[in-house]
Structure 1
């Protein structure tokens, strides 16, 4: 499998030296020195709490935590109360006391300032004790988080109503709940000099290709950036061709979509702070699939899939075809229709190209405004705005009724594309195709489509050809591309999952009508 090799990025020397210093700087066994160091680190941080107290009225200790990220009730009940009232009978008994009396599920010993800072940032209270050069990170993190809700960007008629949230722990549990097998593996890392964002690489051991896992992990480790605020940061950093308008990774909010791709041998990347997870590798045809294709009968799924492909073509080339016909190829349409179109354009002062670009720009502006407006008024403004502006433009003579119909049909067709990023790529490519049609007619449209096809043939997603399995042709994998064959016939996984685990089910799954008999 071909992979694009990434060069290791050069790091800022000053930041590298500072990071190295904090990593090797050990805690002291003198409590006052440690507190002084932490106070200098957290200078001007009013939300950092330093809570000094005595263990058994004898040993000085202190808690350091961030207000708002810690469960204060459990901290008081399970940490402070037992430590303050429990006497110490012998020297060096503090660690035994911590392990026996603190009723916290997770207690981790850390000995460097860097590790202490990371745990404090994650909401773990830090316990420092006089005479010990280690600190205890207590698993009492707690913060506000959104509950599991139905995804708004990937709604379905039949299927699960659960969606990922902004908390990476909740997202991993949603996947674990569906894949109850220890072969499901998670590799975690932190990316971002300041944000230290938690990233998890999720895959099924024995199904996902080892080369693919290594490549994903290597590309993630090569990222050196100040912060990761959304999974798009990761996607743009590790995709094969950053200058392509087509998405090379699948972003989804649905756990069932993530699990189905894991079972096909793909890798899922979870990013803390966003409900959108990334899936790699992908093909053009996987971006045109919806989870609902597999929750209905295969004939219905196939018909809907054909409808999507037809509407994809309409969304891409309908305005350019209309412009080329009006500008150069009037003989291609029936005479009565061309006379009707010509009559409607008598008062329009612009050529067909300018008219199409003007209407496309207006439609995209209305759609973008509908997204940015509050939900209560966004849909109403989009519909009313389109109707009012379209009717007013026709009456003012700025455009013709057929052009409004073409733009409206194109917009409706673009809404049927399941993946938002792919739909946006089609919307973007529609403008240069329209310009080529206005300049060269059908010849310009053909040149534009050939350029898009050549680009798609050269595009790869983590080494996987973007048009696979049609280009290159893999006949045994066409069961789930243009058609959706019955589930009992799709015995094999996609080839990039590795030949060592090719079959996903038994070969004798065909239903038998004679089985069972009458009751």
Structure 2
């Protein structure tokens, strides 16, 4: 039969499932099995550039909602027999197809076995998005930090597979899951591997510093101006005190109010249409901030601190990676507002303890920094040239 996929089915339940999925069943008198022909045709979105993970250089293709199209995008990039894809069906009513993708010989066998066991143990009435599977199989669901990376870029998935990682493709969603991951995975952009390596050192340094600023700056400002003003230069402290002279609220309340308003405007911008979202976020912040300063409710330095904090958060390449730091911002501000720099130090220490103890499918979340691994440290702060990463290319370049 001139069809791309024809297989046999021996059980009645399996045959009914195939028919409900839009396949054609061919029954012959006297035969104990039926032929199932894949003839279903669904309306699907064309392959477009990913909106959430755009890059200046590199592929402009993104995953779509069709799992077959997503599998083809990966197979076109990795043309090797070691690329394996295992199919799972999850969801009592949705019967959603999930593909476990890995490179045989590169992926860790124990991690593969663990993922298979967790996928078989999922008991859900339906799977609408890959987020359903992500929350089910991750090791620590109560941690602020996700132990599974989601992406809609096939080039990121392909590069991760070549590093020995595992990917999960879910039918009906353009977001693939990649595991295991580390903290640094969410802070690295695809452009880091498409631009010249000499510039990546500067961009990563800026990104890491801005990440720290995005959750620590408000707390540091409160600690300096409220508990430890002697640490601030006299002229600067006089300017801050003069600006806050007519403010009716303590510094920590001012910072909390502006952070809450800024996050509210940001959330509104996310859910508004693409043409209105950025306008509402930017103009709304400017108008509300200026009006609050003129009314004497908020002091000018608070506007500067919150604005810098918000801009710093935008340097993180992936939106999902910004969410833990947004919540940490409030936690650190609360502790620092009670205890000053002592509370800030406690917060940072407990954060480091949690990150050191956290694992993603057996991989320490802070690796290769903790525990230290000199072989993998090359891709943490400095993106070494590809010809220095070992293998045949290194020999050829050195010779």
> Which residue is 1:328 aligned to?
227
> Which residue is 1:261 aligned to?
160
2:188 equivalent to 1:188: no
CA–CA distance in 1 between the matches of 2:202 and 2:397? 22
SS in 1 for 2:375: helix
| More displaced 10-residue stretch of structure 1: 170-179 or 378-387 | 378-387
CA–CA distance in 2 between the matches of 1:105 and 1:489? 43
Check whether the contact 2:168–2:176 (CA below 8 A) recurs between aligned residues: yes
- Which of 485, 497, 507 matches 2:394? 507
2:286 equivalent to 1:387: yes
- Which of 230, 238, 263 matches 1:339? 238
CA–CA distance in 1 between the matches of 2:232 and 2:73? 55
Check whether the contact 1:370–1:381 (CA below 8 A) recurs between aligned residues: yes
> Which residue is 1:214 aligned to?
113
Point out which structure has higher relative CO (alpha carbons under 8 A, 6+ apart).
2
CA–CA distance in 1 between the matches of 2:4 and 2:102? 27
Name structure 2 gaps, 5 residues minimum. Answer: none
> Which residue is 1:444 aligned to?
343
What is the CA-CA distance between 1:131 and the residue it aligns to? Answer: 6.5
What is the CA-CA distance between 1:343 and the residue it aligns to? Answer: 1.2
> Which residue is 1:237 aligned to?
136
CA–CA distance in 2 between the matches of 1:121 and 1:294? 44
Residue 352 to residue 122, structure 1, CA distance change in 2 (3 Å): same
| More displaced 10-residue stretch of structure 1: 203-212 or 102-111 | 102-111
2:36 equivalent to 1:174: no
- Which of 123, 139, 151 matches 1:252? 151
CA–CA distance in 2 between the matches of 1:352 and 1:319? 10
Check whether the contact 2:152–2:175 (CA below 8 A) recurs between aligned residues: yes
CA–CA distance in 2 between the matches of 1:295 and 1:423? 23
> Which residue is 1:358 aligned to?
257
What is the CA-CA distance between 1:211 and the residue it aligns to? Answer: 1.4
Output one character per residue of 1:100-124: Cα deviation in whole Å (capped at 9) or x when no partner.
Answer: xx65443334343311221122211
Structure 1 vs Structure 2 CA RMSD? 1.5
> Which residue is 1:470 aligned to?
369
> Which residue is 2:354 aligned to?
455
> Which residue is 2:61 aligned to?
162
2:298 equivalent to 1:399: yes
- Which of 375, 378, 381 matches 1:482? 381
SS in 2 for 1:382: helix
Aligned pairs for 1:39-188 (under 5 A) are: 103-128=2-27, 134-188=33-87
- Which of 304, 319, 330 matches 2:203? 304
> Which residue is 1:223 aligned to?
122
Output one character per residue of 1:288-326: Cα deviation in whole Å (capped at 9) or x when no partner.
Answer: 111111111111111111111000111110000011112
What is the CA-CA distance between 1:129 and the residue it aligns to? Answer: 5.7
Residue 105 to residue 485, structure 1, CA distance change in 2 (3 Å): closer
What is the CA-CA distance between 1:344 and the residue it aligns to? Answer: 1.1
What is the CA-CA distance between 1:137 and the residue it aligns to? Answer: 2.5
> Which residue is 1:44 aligned to?
none
Check whether the contact 2:52–2:318 (CA below 8 A) recurs between aligned residues: no
CA–CA distance in 2 between the matches of 1:304 and 1:285? 14
Check whether the contact 1:246–1:421 (CA below 8 A) recurs between aligned residues: no
CA–CA distance in 1 between the matches of 2:210 and 2:357? 24
CA–CA distance in 2 between the matches of 1:133 and 1:264? 45
> Which residue is 1:375 aligned to?
274
TM-score by length of 1: 0.75
CA–CA distance in 2 between the matches of 1:105 and 1:334? 74
| More displaced 10-residue stretch of structure 1: 169-178 or 110-119 | 110-119
Output one character per residue of 1:362-381: Cα deviation in whole Å (capped at 9) or x when no partner.
Answer: 00000000011111211111
Check whether the contact 1:311–1:414 (CA below 8 A) recurs between aligned residues: yes
SS in 2 for 1:376: coil
Residue 505 to residue 123, structure 1, CA distance change in 2 (3 Å): farther
> Which residue is 1:27 aligned to?
none
> Which residue is 1:82 aligned to?
none
| Number of residue pairs the alignment of both structures matches | 399
